[in-house]
Amino acid sequence: MGMLTVCTVLGTRPEIIKLAPLIPLLDGQPGLKQILLHTGQHYSLAMDAVFFAELGLRGVDVQLAVGSASHGVQTAAILTGVETAIQQHDIGLLLVLGDTNSTLGAALAAAKLAVPVVHIEAGCRSFVRTMPEEINRVLVDHCSAQLLAPNESARRQLLAEGLPDRDITVVGSTAIDAARAFAPRSQGRSIVADSLCRLGLPADAPYLTCTVHRAENTTPEVLPGLLRGLSRLAEQYPILWPVHPRTRRILDELTLPVPPQIVLLPPVGYLDMLALLSNARALCTDSGGLQEEAYALGTPVLILRNETEWTYLLDGGCAVLLGNREEDIGSRGQQNLVDSEQQKMRQAARVLSAQLEDGGAAERILAAIKARWL
């Protein structure tokens, strides 16, 4: 059998991080030639290049540089670019992860050319069809030849949707692998101490970490109330908040008042984010990837949404849904920041990790690909 050329597609911060443990394994696998394709969905230094540098990843082979645009324009540009790359590089297998426009555009391009698609994080569902990410997940799962699910819940969802059991393998989460592997390198970074110093607090003062970026949370109708809810939590503990560019733009346009106990930071690299997570009393976030990264480090997760794809974190007791309304964030958040609840959530993370025997997802993904395609 000849060499199989596999195209690994990434385009956003979460994809770079989650694929980091797998990319070198694919590069080193006999019988495989890996083409690393970057769509350019995230393209600034703060949102992209810094992650390649910190994770020690090699350069990409194909850069589409699609940039920011509407869902339709961006997805179409990715589809067109990936189609060209498949033909030019004689791609025999396409690997995508998650639920981004990069994932959908690349998967559609491959499926239409009869190139098998392997989907990592298959089967995750929020069951909210108004979310673009949910549409992307469902469509990619149903045009993929191999479905690599992160857990049994995702596997059961795929079966419920009529996808064949023979195409599904439970492999775990590479986000957890990456967080635990790189957390030691984040120790000693000054971002936490510097941020707390701005408030006149010692470097070891308790604090919360926050991120908000989802489209449904950054509208003029939602963001003001969400910020007021966070302000109530900041009365208990200061909040360190790396602000996504879209969120920063809306905050500035609406001239929303931010209390001094909330420290707004520029976008941060992966190691600084791990430092912010590792030492936080809790994470308040609407990010799916950060939910798992916080869990991997044993940090309680307060989710600024009404649902999550990572239901196993809710079931395991190490994450709770706060919603995105002022009253819910304030009341539910304060309830879950008391010492007894914090201790329960941290213990729940340890118990869940032991039950799942998580870790080693990249190796299981490689094994599944080898078993099916080599």
How would DSSP label each residue in 41-52? SS-SIIIIIHHH
Q: How confident is the model at residue 326 (pLDDT cuts 50, 70, 90)?
A: very high
Label residue 135 exposed, middle or buried (CB < 10 Å: 0-12, 13-18, 19+).
Answer: middle
What pLDDT is recorded for position 44?
64
Domains and CATH numbers, the chain: 4-172+359-373 (3.40.50.2000), 181-356 (3.40.50.2000)
Alpha carbon distance 291, 274 (integer Å): 12
Is the per-residue pLDDT at 30 higher than 70? yes
pLDDT digits (tens, 9 = 90+) for 121-130: 999 999 999 8
Q: Average of pLDDT values for 315-334? A: 97
Residue 5: strand pairing partners: 33
Measured CA to CA in angstroms, residue 17 lies from 13, 174, 310, 311 at distances of: 6, 8, 17, 21
What pLDDT is recorded for position 51?
86
pLDDT digits (tens, 9 = 90+) for 186-204: 998 999 999 999 999 999 9
Of the CA atoms within 13 Å of residue 187, those in its CB half-sphere come to 5
* Average pLDDT in the chain: 94
What pLDDT is recorded for position 47?
58
What pLDDT is recorded for position 234?
98
Q: Average of pLDDT values for 74-94? A: 97
Q: Average of pLDDT values for 209-228? A: 96
Q: How confident is the model at residue 231 (pLDDT cuts 50, 70, 90)?
A: very high
What pLDDT is recorded for position 75?
94
What pLDDT is recorded for position 352?
93
pTM of the model: 0.91
Q: How confident is the model at residue 46 (pLDDT cuts 50, 70, 90)?
A: low
Is the per-residue pLDDT at 26 higher than 90? yes
Q: Average of pLDDT values for 259-265? A: 97
Alpha carbon distance 13, 27 (integer Å): 21
Is the per-residue pLDDT at 1 higher than 70? no
**178, two tokens:** 């990456």
Q: Average of pLDDT values for 216-239? A: 97
Alpha helices in the chain (DSSP H): 13-19, 23-27, 50-55, 71-89, 101-112, 132-142, 152-160, 174-186, 191-197, 223-234, 245-254, 270-278, 288-296, 311-316, 326-335, 339-356, 361-373
| DSSP conformation letters of 207-261 | -EEEE---GGGSSTTTHHHHHHHHHHHHTTS-EEEEPPHHHHHHHHHHT----TT
The residue among 135 and 71 whose pLDDT is bigger is: 135
What pLDDT is recorded for position 41?
82
The least confident of 21-25, 27-31, 212-216 is: 212-216
Q: How confident is the model at residue 357 (pLDDT cuts 50, 70, 90)?
A: confident
Active site residues: 213
Give me the percent of the chain exceeding a pLDDT of 90.
88
Is the per-residue pLDDT at 239 higher than 90? yes
**33, two tokens:** 């030639």
For 41, residues 6+ apart whose C-beta sits below 8 A from its C-beta are 11, 12, 66, 67, 74, 78, 100, 101, 102
